[in-house]
Amino acid sequence: MTGRFPIEDVTPSVSCGRYPAKAVVGELVPVSAVSYREGHHALGVNVVWRGPDGESEPFTRMRPGEPGLDQWHAVIRPDRVGRWTFTVEAFDDPYRTWRDAVVKKIGAGQGLEDLANDLSEGAEVLDLAAKIVPNEDEDRVRDAAAALRDEQRSLFARVSPALDLEELLWHNPVRQLVTTTRSYAIWVDRKRALYSAWYEFFPRSEGAEIGPDAIPIKHGTFATAAERIPAVAAMGFNVLYLPPIHPIGKINRKGRNNTLVARPEDVGSPWAIGSDEGGHDAIHPQLGTLDDFRRFIGVARDHGLEVAMDLALQAAPDHPWVREHPEFFTRRADGTIAYAENPPKKYQDIYPLNWDNDYKGLRDEVYRVVMHWVDNGVKIFRVDNPHTKALNFWQWLIAKVKETDPDVLFLAEAFTRPAMMNGLGKIGFTQSYTYFTWRTTAWEMRQYMEQLLTSIDWMRPNFWPNTPDILHESLQHGGPPMFKIRAVLASMLTPSWGMYSGYELFEHVPRPGAEEYIDNEKFELKPRDWAAAERAGRSLAPYIGRLNRIRDENPALHWLRNLRFHEIDNANLLCFSKRDPDTGNTVLVVVSFDSANVQWGNTVLDMPALGKDWHERFTVVDQITGATYEWGQHNAVRIDPYVEPAHIFVVQPPA
């Protein structure tokens, strides 16, 4: 302990302050601490926070929590991107000490003679306060001090003006014996870091043509892929994620369905990056040129979409790095370069990088590549398998990029151990993929969300119901209602969610015995007839668009800290809500996890979490069907998955 008063358990603090906590511009960030003192004198606690320019903001007074626990709480709201810092201060508050004592003594029947010293001491405190309060309040404080000294007045007339200063001197306290903690950091991103809706497609499949056995006839380009952008925007997405757009290796190229021997016409996996046509800073010539890519970004921007690029740090055997920087790779005993393996799986078309041979050279080369794309308009990177690369590299790279462009965001595609996923968040990754896909019961989902809420200061979840690699059995067998269920859960539980193209067409056929798609688009062109599907009513696109519009229209859904669960007596149903403290906007969701059967449930709502008193009745409007209901704490709810598998209610303000 240092200083006069103990200050403990400060939050947000990531790994005891080793890493910055995370927030976004406009987010209400809770700050808490435990602080206490000896005796009965009043203790005050406040937060002092500084913006990226180092200038101090007006301090924020912390309020006590549950009686007897000595916990203090405040909320701060950063308004700029960059590195913010805060300290917690504890101080002796002589005005509150005086006020509490005088109120108790008067209540006990003490009079002017008994309180003579108290009145004099109070006047001295107010003399100090008059030098602190805003100019417009100075006369009021001085008048109260004069009243305390005026022996011609009654006790009530002498003390009342001073007692009435409680609110003013709460926000402008006399602070003595101030004790200050160490500085804690918060990295503040732009809001897209927390609130985003991602859509993934392969540009080479858009406008492509194939013949029998998926033999490519025509390869998609950035120009043909741009024709798909209006439809993606119409579904309400704001991030368009592209798998790698670089030249694809020709040596050991994988064939259709991941076969080891490719046919001459096979296009290979975009993640096998690099050939004689270039490496990570080049564009696959069949997609177009760098100018074509810039035009594609421009079209996306005109439709409200940011383009996210895949950053996959690995190389095909014919990548220029293999020839120019063999030290970037691992040599085996026979002198060959080691290809990627995840035993028993083998990836002969990919060489992993070795971070221990020439760390500085490799790190600087990757930084050059990333900044090349940043300079060409890319501000979001989806990072492939970051958990297989050195963590100190990522910490360096992300910080280095943000030195010159703090708006750049990084999504970690790390389906791995929780400690590693949390560690990637702590060292700087903006968002993370999660285990959402494998949480298939209401109990599992609630437990998982409550777990994620404990890590909100360093790991922001992004929920995906599918990816090119993942087709969960719930989608394989759950039918169209399950596609709705997973989309509702992904889009309503978290501020960031995404889906891989084909989801809106209910694509659900797996490779036998696997949790992935048959005829995987990673290894072949996969053109889809979007228009025909919509004409035939075989598209979920209108429903997806409705979900994203609900998100946009309701600020409660833009945050994660406000998630609250409510009790419901059916294990197949999940009930949760979000409330925006600024607008009062409140969204209440009841969703079924059963895609085949009607489910009934009875709710017991946490009414204060909805901004209501326990006895109140209120109106809710279903944002999917438009139906209106009168609800209270206890409600019966029926969900038929073949009608709608979820209620998404907006709580209406009082008439």
Question: Which residues carry out catalysis?
Answer: 384, 413
Residue 545, Cα to own-chain centre: how many angstroms? 21
Largest CA distance in the chain: 106
d(CA 477, CA 596): 10
Q: Are strands 431-432 and 409-413 parallel, antiparallel or unpaired?
A: parallel
Strands, DSSP E only, in 51-207?
A: 60-61, 63-64, 71-76, 82-92, 176-180, 184-189, 196-200
Sign of CA pseudo-dihedral 281, 286, 292, 293: negative
d(CA 434, CA 420): 12
Q: Find, among 575, 543, 635, the residue nearest to 235 by Cα.
A: 543
d(CA 584, CA 602): 25
Alpha carbon dihedral 620, 622, 623, 624, in 10-degree steps, equals: 180
CA distances from 431 to 97, 222, 472 (A): 46, 27, 22
Residue 494, Cα to own-chain centre: how many angstroms? 7
| Contacts of 95 by beta carbon, 8 Å cutoff, 6+ apart | 125, 126, 129, 165, 169, 173, 174
Place of tokens 């929780």: 418
* Structural element, H or E, at residue 210: strand 209-210
Amino acid type, 176: Q
Amino acid type, 90: A
Alpha carbon dihedral 415, 418, 420, 425, in 10-degree steps, equals: 90
Sign of CA pseudo-dihedral 528, 533, 538, 539: positive
How many CA atoms, within 13 angstroms, populate the side-chain half-sphere of residue 340?
Answer: 18
d(CA 587, CA 397): 38
CA distances from 595 to 235, 431, 467 (A): 23, 30, 21
Six-digit token string for 303: 């439709």
DSSP conformational letter for 109? T
* Polymer length in residues for the chain: 655
Q: Is 108 exposed, middle or buried (0-12, 13-18, 19+ CB in 10 A)?
A: exposed
Six-digit token string for 550: 């609900």
487 SS3 class: helix
d(CA 74, CA 45): 10
614 SS3 class: coil
